[in-house]
Structure 1
Amino acid sequence: MRLPSLVGIALAALVAGAAALVHAEQGADNKQATAPEVLYDLNALPDPVKAMLHQIGNAAATGEIEKMRPVLESNELKPMVAAAYIDDPIGHWKKESADGTGRDVLAAMLDMMSSGFVLTGKGDEAMYVWPYFAEADITKLSPAQEVELYRLLPAPDAIAMKKAGKYSGYKLGISTSGVWHYFIK
Structure 2
Amino acid sequence: MAISRDPLFGYQAARFGAAAGFVVLAMALATPQALALSEIQREDVPVSEEEENGSGEIQREELPPPAPVEESEPVPSEESQPAPPPADMSVPLPDPIVIPRDPQPTDVESGAGQDEPVPEILYDVELLPEPVQRMRALIMEACASGDIERLRPLLSGGENGTQLSFGQVSGDPIEHLRGLSGDDKGHEILAILYEVLAAGYVRLDEGEPGEMYVWPYFFAVPLENLTDPQRVELFKLVTAGDYEDMKNFGAYIFYRIGISPEGRWIFFVAGD
The answer as to 2:151 corresponding to 1:68 is yes
Contact 1:75/1:179 (<8 A) preserved = no
The answer as to 2:141 corresponding to 1:58 is yes
**Whole-Å Cα distance in 2 between the matches of residues 75 and 53 of structure 1?**
21
- Aligned letter for 1:155? A
Structure 1 residues 22 and 41: alpha-carbon distance in aligned structure 2, compared to 1, 3 A threshold:
same
How many matched pairs?
Answer: 167
Q: 51-60 vs 71-80, which deviates more?
A: 71-80
Residue 14 (structure 1) aligns with: none
- What SS class does the counterpart of residue 151 from structure 1 fall into? coil
CA-atom RMSD, angstroms?
2.3
**Whole-Å Cα distance in 2 between the matches of residues 89 and 138 of structure 1?**
31
Runs of 5+ consecutive residues of structure 1 not aligned to the other structure: 1-17
TM-score in terms of structure 2 length: 0.57
**Whole-Å Cα distance in 1 between the matches of residues 160 and 151 of structure 2?**
14
Structure 1 residues 41 and 74: alpha-carbon distance in aligned structure 2, compared to 1, 3 A threshold:
farther
**Whole-Å Cα distance in 1 between the matches of residues 192 and 128 of structure 2?**
21
The answer as to 2:187 corresponding to 1:103 is yes
**Whole-Å Cα distance in 1 between the matches of residues 194 and 158 of structure 2?**
19
Cα offsets for 1:59-89 (capped at 9, x unmatched) = 1111111111122258984311101232522
Deviation at 1:25, TM superposition (A): 4.8
What pairs up with 1:1-185 in 2 under 5 angstroms?
21-25=105-109, 27-29=111-113, 31-72=114-155, 77-86=160-169, 87-123=171-207, 124-185=209-270
Please tell me whether Structure 1 or Structure 2 has the larger radius of gyration of its CA atoms.
Answer: 2
TM-score in terms of structure 1 length: 0.82
Higher RCO (C-alpha under 8 Å, 6+ residues apart): 1
Q: 93-102 vs 35-44, which deviates more?
A: 93-102
Contact 2:156/2:162 (<8 A) preserved = no
**Whole-Å Cα distance in 2 between the matches of residues 26 and 147 of structure 1?**
22
Runs of 5+ consecutive residues of structure 2 not aligned to the other structure: 1-102
- What SS class does the counterpart of residue 61 from structure 1 fall into? helix
**Whole-Å Cα distance in 1 between the matches of residues 189 and 158 of structure 2?**
19
